[in-house]
Amino acid sequence: MILVQRPYKPGDEVSINRLYKLLTGRKRSFNQYRWEWLDTWNGQGSIWLAFDEERKNGDQLIMQYSLIPTPLSVYGESFLAGKTENCMAHPDCRGKGIYFFHEQKYFEEAKKRFQIFFTTTGNVANGAPGAVRRKLGYRAFDSWINLYFLIDTKKSVQATRQGNMTGIRGDTAKGRRENVKTFYCSLFVPPQSATSMHIVDEERAPLKDIDRLWDENKGFYGITVERSLPYLDWRINKNPYFHHQYLLYRKSGLLKGYIIFYKHKKTSVRVVDIFAENKDIKIFRKMIKQLTVWAKKNQIEKIFCTTNQNNQFLRWAFYSCGFLSSIDIRKIAGLKNNENLSYKRPFHVFVSKPVLKQHASAYKARNWYMTELVFEGREN
């Protein structure tokens, strides 16, 4: 092996996308790559590559360590964070113990740019990424929880009938559980729309108003992604994978809160972000209920929202509006939960000493307010 390590150069995206497809099965266009890595809200992402020059031309890229710049607010103070994404090792070099040293080398280089580091998927590939990060000093910090709301009763009824027809007890029980959950959610759908709210496409999103709302209220949200105009314009409005919509709540003409969401597989909706003035639970509940009204009118079957498991505030806001989560339902029932990843904690975090010196509680998971705004912004 003749190993050559260096930063990204224009044209490397051809080899990067080839390795990316080999490992994930996903085909990524140059424009999609450019959006995510070259033209971010903060310039080019940090990308370090390793080539084995003994391999044939076109197949020499064997490792990538890369970070997407992400603006984090820590109790209202701005810091630049690096989110590990698309860190890759060719199957031919796995198990040889060389990837860790590649990431370790450039992790030290990355500290010149970033003050906080995190990864959202430390438990993939049998936990290998998390193991690498923990050796570098990251903490296995928190898990993710999916909250959901079931709207359409037709499919749950059909599932029950199909279970009865087949005579399979498990299918029947599953259909009945879905029926019960859907009926429970239906009790929380308000009868009408609120006139103080409306939904707009991303092209009409009032990013300047959102920027103002963020700046005036960021101190209420502990540690979270900054909702600044440059970041939202890049992460949401210029996103080539999804077309987003904004639910806006105004009072006396002023924006008081919003929900950003997109349609997922035609019949479901994913909440990317939710934010409100003064972190007011009443505004959160009003907007969530309004989204359920809109979803029902538009024949949406499910609404999903992902957050960090220790985000008790956001979990309660959705639970109080009829949302459910498989983790908590199974806990209440006293069942073992294979979906609960709390012991693996895929959300890993590294906070630099200067930040910790100013904010000693930065390593307390309950202080982090995370939504899908922190994710990659593409189909998983």
- Residue 9, in any domain of the structure: yes
- Residue 32, in any domain of the structure: yes
pLDDT at 67 over 70: yes
Kindly state whether residues 89 and 202 are assigned to the same domain. Answer: no
pLDDT at 331 over 60: no
Q: How far is CA 157 from the centre of its chain?
A: 32
Kindly state whether residues 193 and 94 are assigned to the same domain. Answer: no
Alpha carbons 270 and 38: distance in angstroms, whole number: 26
* Residue-number span of the structural domain to which 322 is assigned: 146-151+189-339
Q: How far is CA 309 from the centre of its chain?
A: 13
In this structure, which amino acid lies at residue 227?
R
Kindly state whether residues 27 and 100 are assigned to the same domain. Answer: yes
CATH number, domain containing residue 315:
3.40.630.30
Alpha carbons 335 and 329: distance in angstroms, whole number: 9
The more confidently predicted of residues 165 and 292 is 292
Determine which helix (DSSP H) or strand (DSSP E) holds 46, and give its type and residue range.
strand 46-52
Q: What three-state secondary structure class fits 108?
A: helix
The predicted structure's pLDDT at residue 96: 83
Alpha carbons 71 and 201: distance in angstroms, whole number: 24
Instruction: Report pLDDT digits (tens) over 199-217.
Output: 999 999 999 999 999 999 9
The bridge status of strand 244-251 relative to strand 254-264 is antiparallel
The predicted structure's pLDDT at residue 160: 42
Instruction: Report pLDDT digits (tens) over 354-367.
Output: 999 999 999 999 99
pLDDT at 274 over 70: yes
pLDDT at 327 over 80: no
| Residues belonging to the chain | 380
Q: For the chain, give me the number of helices (H) and strands (E)?
A: 12, 16
Query: What is the arithmetic mean of pLDDT over 75-93?
Result: 95
Kindly state whether residues 211 and 107 are assigned to the same domain. Answer: no
| pTM beyond cutoff 0.85 | yes
Q: What is the mean pLDDT of the chain?
A: 88
In this structure, which amino acid lies at residue 252?
S
Q: What three-state secondary structure class fits 322?
A: coil
Instruction: Report pLDDT digits (tens) over 227-238.
Output: 999 999 999 999
The answer to whether residues 349 and 365 touch, using CB atoms and an 8 Å cutoff, is: no
In this structure, which amino acid lies at residue 351?
V
Structural domain tally of the chain? 2
pLDDT at 190 over 90: no
Instruction: Report pLDDT digits (tens) over 38-60.
Output: 999 999 999 999 999 999 998 99
> Please, what is the Cα angle at 23 between 22 and 25, to 5 degrees?
65
Under the banding of pLDDT at 50, 70 and 90, the label for residue 172 is low
Instruction: Report pLDDT digits (tens) over 131-160.
Output: 899 999 999 999 999 999 998 746 544 544
